[in-house]
Structure 1
Amino acid sequence: MEEKRKISINDKDAREGLSPLYIQKWEKRSSIRTRPEKKIDFTIDGHFFPEDNQPVLLDERLKNISDDEKSELLIRSLFKYLNDIVTLEIKLISSACNKLIYSDLPVSYPEQIKMNAYTVIIDEYYHVYVARDLMNQLKSQYPYLKQDVLPQSDSYYSVTEIMSRLDDENKELFEIIAVCIFETTLVRELVEFFNAKSVHPSIKNYVNDHMNDESRHYIFFMELLKYTWGEMSESSRKDIGRHIAEFVKMYLNVESEKSFNKSYLDSMIDDEEENKNVIDRIYKGFEVTPDVPIVKNVMRALKRTELLDDKYVKSGFINAGWII
């Protein structure tokens, strides 16, 4: 019989993310219960996306664009950001939580974990509702947004790509693990970007409310990752573990952002070849390595949940050339 590493959540000092305390916090702090409707005040000045988080502005050909043209780029950037949230939270996070609750999985989840997962589903559908509402407000104010064709996010691509390489019995387990990794990549830098002085107050308010929930989800998904990995069979850990390093690299890539920015340049400047060269120059040298701050966040989560102690996960990172 295959060895399984058991992790109990019934200890006297039960971890908060897997205990009734999580629901108590949700009842008091969740945005859906405590925050008013989000409306963009279009009469107030401010950019809809942080300039420092839009590298296409480094293109020398854009240094003399008008304020209106810069505003349009940043509005389009926010629109993509909101669209990525809709995709991630419905197609992946809510999907994974539903599978945790309802699917016949190789790992058995206690009732308390399922109850906590329900609160995450409620939060995520609320986040999607708010994001779609903001997108509709933007489309109403700026009709050109209706024409945007947005690229698939790197997050969604990375999950579907790795799932295609796994044994059938491990696909849903990997989806849960992938979502745990997404949700433990709480990027404080993102909040700092959106809290920049030049960012529109309505957008600051939206991002900070969203992060209010994500900071709580972080606790749940951190413990869920550790629990799931500890309950998996040796064969499942081998099948999934050897792909974790590649998943991290794909998930944190910027191909979607590059595609979006290339499309923007094509709409502004009729020179597709030079536009491609400019994008390549802007992102030259960018690589998903252990030194990148967001990668450090992910590796910290993998270490805390003991995945980095697993021989299959560790060998995957070694094969990728990472020293961990």
Structure 2
Amino acid sequence: MTAADYRSFATDWEQQATIRTRPRRLLEDDDKLIYPLCRQPLVLSAGFLEHCPQWREFVLVQTFYKFINDVVIFETEIVDKTARSIAKNRFSIPFPVACRYAAMTVVVDEDYHALVALDFMQQTQEKTGIAPLALPAAIELSRAIPSAQAHVPAHLRDAVELIGVAIAENTVTHDVAAFAKDDSVKQSVRGLMADHLADEGRHASFWTGLVRLYWQTASEADRHCLAQMLPIFLQHYLTNDLQRDFDLLLIDHLDISPSVREALRVEVNALAFPITRQHPLISNIMGFLRRSGLLQTPCVAQAMSAYLPVSGSPS
């Protein structure tokens, strides 16, 4: 990637960024869902469907609040921090001026996404009359980056942050795309996701390009150290512990009998995606590692061998 690519990135931002091109979206008062059923297994569980389906709206609205809260944490506390450090040339990895300008457009986009998310949270509370429960103060990435940084020398901590943010930005793009296409969901919410996707697709390419630039200059020793870090990062990033804890909190707030509550708890505790090559997000992450050039490095391919297709080919 060259400085010319970053000039075109800035032009694309002026013409395409949602803060430049989208009107405010208003939540409809219709029969559509505010959150996809398939993304909240609790409401599809046998115990829930049999004993308390009347609580479906409450659970979906609370899950939407958590989703919004996760977006705000991700964009204002993590991506914004990294992009702003790069833009202001305070990152330990130096990048050209064109990259730093592009990083500042990411800062603007992410803060705008957080603003829109908070607007939707307020609109939802006004429309439904359902106030949000206590929302988590952290997301998986909040824990995954520091955990991975603890396993590398101090001079590589910013590299871990860069790679971790890039993995997350490439993952969230696919996640948001699936959300935006769900016809069961309110049009304004789908529009919100589509707007987000329009920016995140550009961000995913931006972060991939930065990681590729960095990797081309990293020493063999640093590459090896970062390769060993990757599985540690994924174990923390792909955990479902925070979602499970939130679902258990939801169950505690349902007006149901103790026996039904316990049955729902058992069902929630049984929901998990083992962090193997079959995990639904692994293919997206492996795609990013290929596009950024990491997976073509033997030490990375070896460290990530448990997540590669059975053929084992990194290409």
TM-score > 0.5 by shorter chain: yes
Determine if the alignment matches structure 1 residue 202 to structure 2 residue 154. no
C-alpha deviations, 1:84-127, integer Å up to 9, x for none?
A: 00011111111111222335544320000001101111000000
8 A contact 1:48–1:78 mirrored in 2 = yes
Query: RMSD value over aligned CA atoms?
Result: 2.4
What is residue 3 of structure 1 aligned with on the other side? none
- From 25, 32, 52, the equivalent of 2:12 is 25
8 A contact 1:245–1:313 mirrored in 2 = no
3-state secondary structure, aligned to 1:128: helix
Determine if the alignment matches structure 1 residue 185 to structure 2 residue 171. yes
8 A contact 2:145–2:161 mirrored in 1 = yes
Determine if the alignment matches structure 1 residue 116 to structure 2 residue 109. no
Normalising by structure 1, what TM-score?
0.86
CA distance in structure 2 between the aligned counterparts of 1:104 and 1:152, rounded to whole angstroms: 24
What is residue 151 of structure 2 aligned with on the other side? 165
8 A contact 2:227–2:300 mirrored in 1 = yes
Q: How many residues align?
A: 307
What is residue 295 of structure 2 aligned with on the other side? 308
CA distance in structure 2 between the aligned counterparts of 1:131 and 1:124, rounded to whole angstroms: 10
8 A contact 2:93–2:158 mirrored in 1 = no
CA distance in structure 1 between the aligned counterparts of 2:75 and 2:130, rounded to whole angstroms: 25
What is residue 271 of structure 2 aligned with on the other side? 282
C-alpha deviations, 1:52-83, integer Å up to 9, x for none?
A: 11111232221146665211111111111110
- From 135, 143, 150, the equivalent of 1:149 is 135
Moved more, 300-309 or 260-269: 260-269
CA distance in structure 2 between the aligned counterparts of 1:122 and 1:178, rounded to whole angstroms: 20
8 A contact 1:303–1:309 mirrored in 2 = yes
C-alpha deviations, 1:246-290, integer Å up to 9, x for none?
A: 21232122222211112212222435654442223233xx21222
CA distance in structure 2 between the aligned counterparts of 1:277 and 1:86, rounded to whole angstroms: 30
Amino acid at match of 1:34: T
Structure 1's consecutive aligned runs of 4 or more residues displaced over 6 angstroms after TM superposition are: none
CA distance in structure 2 between the aligned counterparts of 1:90 and 1:114, rounded to whole angstroms: 18
3-state secondary structure, aligned to 1:63: helix
CA distance in structure 2 between the aligned counterparts of 1:201 and 1:73, rounded to whole angstroms: 20
Residue 66 to residue 105, structure 1, CA distance change in 2 (3 Å): closer
CA distance in structure 2 between the aligned counterparts of 1:166 and 1:181, rounded to whole angstroms: 18
Identity of aligned residues (%): 23
Unaligned runs of 5+ in 1: 1-7
- From 28, 31, 34, the equivalent of 2:21 is 34
